[in-house]
Amino acid sequence: MARHGVLVAVVVVLAALLGAVAAQTEASYAGYPTPSPHGSPPAPSPPSSAPPAPSPATQTPPPPAGPALRVGFYKNSCPRAEQIVGEVVRNATTRNPGVGAGIIRMLFHDCFVRGCDASVLLDPTPANPQPEKLAPPNFPSLRGFEVIDEAKQRLEEVCPGEVSCADVVAFAARDASYFLSGGRVDFRMPAGRRDGRVSLASETVDLPPPSFKLPQLVDNFRAKNLTVDDLVVLSGAHTIGRSHCSSFSDRLSSSPGSDMNPVLAASLRRRCPANATSDATVAQDVVTPNKMDSQYYRNVLNRKVLFC
């Protein structure tokens, strides 16, 4: 696959996942109402210092979405919806590219549990003290909630009660991919997701842990009707962001079970000492740590990746 094709596929396959498992339940996040079924505009318009805004004529068409999803969903009810989300994400990723990586991860962690229903955003309540947000795969490592909150607040000021939190997360992840790739990951996101009311920490066991080996990952993705190709493409998102040392410390030994590049392993052992009192973080892509590109796949071939 060509380099550009890999970049686009990483997020387009994720868009397919969104359509395939979009939840149909209605709910709210932080008191926000569910959307009404209307429609959405073109992608965000970054300033002159950022990549030019994607135009419909050059955007990669999305894969077929679920029956309730469509491109342009907020065209009539909130025409500036995607532009508003894009502006918030652009500002956040300019200040800190790592937040963009966190938003992309947030979308995956949301969709892989109950479908793309924003249940990962729900805060604990007396009736449910342990939502997805507080589960070990998400807490305290999941980032970007403040970006989603800001985007949703701005949308409520302009179009109250129209745009679902689930769509905000999806738009934000698409926009983060766009800005972190310098405008090369460029596609239109179908919308129309509904927000879920149920969020249980116990259900995050569906998320693949960093300790999984390839056969376990294949089975894990197959359970979600995702193929090995989907697994390979979605793994490319590890080209951006950081990881806690505890997530891959088992691979830093010189035991036969680890095939990590010895030079990388030695470097990581210095940054992740066994007797450390805190859980440090390191870049997942040691070559282009703040850029969403296809370097991850070259790193895999060179055994310079954190995970198996």
Catalytic center residues: 109
Please report where in the chains the tokens 């963009």 appear, as a residue: 100
Please report where in the chains the tokens 């973080």 appear, as a residue: 281
Max intra-chain CA distance, the chain = 60
Q: Would you say how long the chain is, in residues?
A: 308
* In contact, 11 and 53? CB cutoff 8 Å: no
Q: How far apart are CA 87 and CA 102, in angstroms?
A: 17
Task: List the beta bridge partners of residue 281.
Answer: 244
Q: How far apart are CA 60 and CA 71, in angstroms?
A: 12
The SS3 call for residue 128 is coil
Looking at residue 189, its amino acid is M
CA dihedral in degrees (81, 118, 180, 267; nearest 10)?
A: 170
Residues 6 or more apart from 256 whose CB is under 8 A from it?
Answer: none
Tally of CA atoms within 13 A in the half-sphere of 59 that contains its CB: 21
Task: List the beta bridge partners of residue 282.
Answer: 243
Residues 6 or more apart from 241 whose CB is under 8 A from it?
Answer: 98, 101, 102, 104, 105, 283, 284
